[in-house]
Amino acid sequence: MADEYKDLIKGMMGKKRYTHSCNVADMCVKLAEIYGEDVKKAYTAGILHDCRKEADADVQHSEMMASGYYVDPAELDSKSTWHGIAGAYYVREKLGINDKDILNAIRYHTVGHAAMTRLEKIVYLGDLVSAERDFPDVEKYRAYAMRDLDDAMYRALKWSIGNLSENGRKIPVCTIEAYNYYIDKKLKKD
């Protein structure tokens, strides 16, 4: 895959975040190959998904509010989610990428939403299970992602909601709707 955007993001973030972004892009390409998704789009969304993660909070907030995306009150209260929305804005406005699937994959990579496209699921999961991730059971989540995107989304959202609630954090409505969507798919499949 071409190194398009690598130089750009390298100048926007520290070494650890840069390594993470490259690893996410690699995982997104691997998942795209497994599931028949456009590899170039998967790489682009993966490499750019955290492009605003290390921008100042006031810049993230300003870009998020200018993005045109709906911002859930729980997202507004959680600075850790701002970079996804600001990232989609930056990629559209500064890089001229207007592919809705790439933009939504960046926007929703931390919170998810119901009925995600294949690319959106790939970026969400690619971020969760990239090579440098080492949380307990990460290998199980990697295996889930390689086996079945919808089942992996169900499991990832269940894990994410559990972590948020354990830590007393608000959960965006789109995340709850995503979980409900994927649990319904699982129940219908089982």
Chain centre distance of CA 16: 17
- Structure tokens belonging to residue 65: 């509010």
Domain span at residue 172 reads 6-189
Q: Indicate which CATH number applies to the domain containing 115.
A: 1.10.3210.10
CA atoms in the 13 A half-sphere facing the CB of 94: 15
Give the predicted TM-score (pTM) of the model: 0.96
Domain count across the chain = 1
Long-range contacts, 31-38 (Cβ 8 Å, 24+): 31/122, 31/125, 31/126, 31/145, 31/146, 31/149, 32/119, 32/122, 34/146, 35/118, 35/122, 35/149, 36/118, 37/118, 37/119, 37/122, 38/119
What would the pLDDT profile of 103-139 be if each residue is shown by its tens digit? 999 999 999 999 999 999 999 999 999 999 999 999 9
Q: In this structure, is residue 163 part of a structural domain?
A: yes
What would the pLDDT profile of 21-75 be if each residue is shown by its tens digit? 999 999 999 999 999 999 999 999 999 999 999 999 999 999 999 999 999 999 9
Q: In this structure, is residue 1 part of a structural domain?
A: no
